Amino acid sequence: MNFKNMPNHLAIIMDGNGRWAKKRGLDRIHGHIEGIKSLKTIIKAVMEYKIKYLTVYAFSSENWQRPESEVDSLMTLLDEYIRIELSYLIENKIRLGFIGNIVKIPEKSKKALLDAADRTKDFDSLFLTLALSYGSKEEILNAVSKTAEDLKQGKIASADINDNLFSSYLYTSGMPDPDMLIRTSGERRISNFMLYQIAYTEIYFTKTLWPDFRKKDLIRALQDYEKRIRRFGKTDI
């Protein structure tokens, strides 16, 4: 499959796992398990199409309010996912990173995450970033507070504050902004995801539930992206 324009950075809000499970009379966790299969398939396809950055919303700062049993299962899945997939990441030279306030993540899963991030830190065939315990408002407020602290200490001057400098205080420091954002499951909102970074991102909504989202659905989304004319606020002449 050849595309004229490809996103360099693809971000995905993987939504609809719960509804997928409910439709089948299954417990929500089965939706998340199937969602991991979609994630693996999409990582493979993204590698094939040489998309450099893939950022996926795996757990929001608001998701902590879900029933304890679901939170526990998601954390266990995270731990298992990392342990099982680490050799695949290493073999394929994928760098695993994360964005979010991971202090809340249980010790075992956090250790697996930090260990995998460290063991893959020199790779660059794909930058795979998991948004975990992530909330964009919190990220921006945190960046504002760090900027204010550095101003107070004289490390920066107010005239230095521009997009580049401010971006360096975000969790996504060093990463390009997403070119395309996909949200599955028919919901049409951003849900506190990368609010600063998606200023000029092309957004694609699909009704497909995340556990059903596979390579053909990614191709459809990329074909849609291919047709978009990105003007970044300018005219195209």
Nearest approach, Cβ of 168 to ligand FPP (angstroms)? Answer: 26
Binding of residue 15 to ligand FPP (CB under 6 A): yes
Q: Round to whole Å and give the CA distance between 35 and 74.
A: 11
Could you tell me the two tokens for 169? 């205080």
Binding of residue 39 to ligand FPP (CB under 6 A): yes
Nearest approach, Cβ of 183 to ligand FPP (angstroms)? Answer: 10
Residue 169 to residues 80, 143, 149, Cα–Cα distance (Å): 31, 5, 11
Q: Round to whole Å and give the CA distance between 234 and 121.
A: 37
Nearest CA to 160 out of 149, 172, 151 is that of: 151
Q: Helices then strands (H, E): number in the chain?
A: 7, 6
Q: Round to whole Å and give the CA distance between 118 and 96.
A: 8
Nearest CA to 49 out of 126, 106, 147, 108 is that of: 126
Cβ closer to ligand FPP: 23 or 155?
Answer: 23
Nearest approach, Cβ of 229 to ligand FPP (angstroms)? Answer: 31
5 noted as active-site residue: no
- Binding ligand FPP (rule: CB under 6 A), the pick from 9, 11, 12, 18 is 18
101 noted as active-site residue: no
Cβ closer to ligand FPP: 73 or 147?
Answer: 73
| Binding span for ligand FPP by CB under 6 A among 10-18, 173-181, 190-198, 199-207 | 10-18
Q: Please, are residues 32 and 203 in contact by the beta-carbon 8 Å criterion?
A: no
Binding mask 194-233 for ligand FPP (x = CB under 6 A): ----------------x-----------------------
What are the residue numbers of the active site?
A: 15, 63
Q: Which residues bind ligand FPP (CB under 6 A)?
A: 14-19, 32, 35-36, 39, 58-59, 63, 77-78, 81, 130, 185, 210
